[in-house]
């Protein structure tokens, strides 16, 4: 295998964020006294949250604003008189306790950590992501965690990847690869920074974007064989 530095996106690549998000949202609303009929609210929250994250990635809003605004908008849309700041606090606390691993994540990180260095690249909230990694059982295999919050820039900005690779023990562009599920953040970021990328695409989505992955896999079990095949590519 030619790679010695493996940069992994966290949510929906190693950890099943969708499952964690739904559990945490339900727990949060339960703490606020709302235990039933939250499906429509959750669907609207997800749409609002996604739009705000896209705005954050372009620098249009701050992460502190995003964390509360997604609840404020969702509650307002449904005419609920709930405290968005308290909802945000409860939700972020519960995320650390609702970790769900993607199948094969631990074995993959253990395998690659024995070959080189594994780092996490995430646009998520730093302290929450660190707690989630600690709860996941992946921590023993992770050398460093790079977050947009600590960096001040988000994927796919090349400044984020400059910050990330400076955290590694050693960095050579031709020996580095990013593994992630998002074309617009992970794969495009790799393209702009001049390193290879592996698109984790479990839903077998079509790529209609400008991002060009070096390889594509549909399960985490396929990552090591795919990376080995790049030696002669």
CB distance 94 to 27 below 8 Å = yes
Whether residue 156 has a cis bond before it, omega within 30° of 0 = yes
Q: Give the count of alpha carbons within 13 A of 97, CB side only.
A: 10
Q: DSSP H helical segments within the chain, as ranges?
A: 17-31, 39-57, 63-77, 84-95, 105-113, 126-136, 148-151, 158-166, 188-193, 223-229
Q: How far is 70 from 38, CA to CA, in rounded Å?
A: 15
Q: How far is 107 from 29, CA to CA, in rounded Å?
A: 34
Query: Hey, how many other C-beta atoms are within 10 angstroms of the C-beta on 174?
Result: 11
The residues carrying an active-site annotation are: 9, 11
Among residues 20, 1, 5, the alpha carbon closest in space to that of 169 is found at 5
Q: How far is 153 from 227, CA to CA, in rounded Å?
A: 28
**Rg of the chain (C-alpha set):** 18
């Amino acid at each position: 295998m030619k790679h010695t530095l493996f940069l992994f996106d966290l949510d929906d690549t190693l950890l099943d964020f969708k499952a964690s998000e739904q559990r945490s949202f339900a727990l949060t609303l339960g703490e606020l006294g709302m235990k039933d009929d939250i499906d429509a609210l959750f669907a609207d929250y997800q749409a609002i949250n996604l739009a705000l994250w896209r705005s954050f990635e372009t620098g249009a809003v701050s992460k502190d604003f995003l964390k509360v605004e997604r609840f404020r908008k969702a509650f307002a849309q449904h005419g609920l008189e709930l405290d968005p700041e308290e909802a945000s606090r409860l939700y972020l606390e519960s995320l650390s306790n609702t970790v769900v691993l993607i199948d094969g994540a631990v074995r993959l990180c253990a395998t690659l950590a024995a070959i080189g260095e594994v780092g996490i690249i995430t646009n998520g909230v730093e302290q929450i992501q660190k707690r989630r990694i600690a709860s996941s059982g992946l921590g023993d295999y992770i050398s460093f965690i790079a977050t947009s919050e600590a960096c001040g820039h988000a994927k796919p900005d090349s400044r984020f990847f400059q910050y990330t690779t400076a955290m590694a023990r050693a960095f050579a562009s031709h020996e580095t690869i990013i593994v992630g599920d998002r074309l617009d953040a992970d794969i495009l970021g790799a393209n702009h920074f001049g390193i290879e990328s592996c698109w984790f695409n479990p839903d077998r989505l079509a790529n209609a974007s400008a991002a060009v992955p070096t390889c594509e896999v549909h399960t985490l079990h396929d990552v090591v064989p795919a990376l080995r095949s790049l030696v002669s590519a």
